[in-house]
Amino acid sequence: MFQRLRDIRQPVRLTIDGEAVTADAGDSVMAAILASGIASFRRTPQSGAERGPYCGMGVCFDCLVTIDGRGNRQACLAVVREGMVVESGGARPAIGGP
């Protein structure tokens, strides 16, 4: 579905859902996830519907993932970092939720 438009120039190694992935320095986490073949980033707490990035600019919150153990991070606004650990399904329900 998604593919890189150019080769990786400055490789950055990270882990996405337990898989070692190489991204390019400056890539957003969203780009790295999509390039790894994952399109569903999380499921909604209410219905369990799959969600993926929509706006790509920090507005829709449909790209929430867990980054280095911190949930509810917007993948479209985070930049990849060497050794970063990313987990899809990052949406955590609000306080008092399931």
Q: Rule CB under 6 A: which residues touch ligand FES?
A: 53-56, 58-63, 74, 76
Specify the residue, 11 or 39, whose C-beta has the smaller distance to ligand FES: 39
Per-residue CA distances from 2 to 11, 19, 70, 79, 96 (Å): 19, 18, 26, 18, 37
Least distance from ligand FES to the Cβ atom of residue 94, Å: 17
d(CA 77, CA 30): 8
Least distance from ligand FES to the Cβ atom of residue 84, Å: 17
Least distance from ligand FES to the Cβ atom of residue 63, Å: 3
Specify the residue, 61 or 81, whose C-beta has the smaller distance to ligand FES: 61
Least distance from ligand FES to the Cβ atom of residue 85, Å: 19
d(CA 96, CA 75): 24
Which distant-in-sequence residues (6+ apart) come within 8 Å of 59 by Cβ? Answer: none
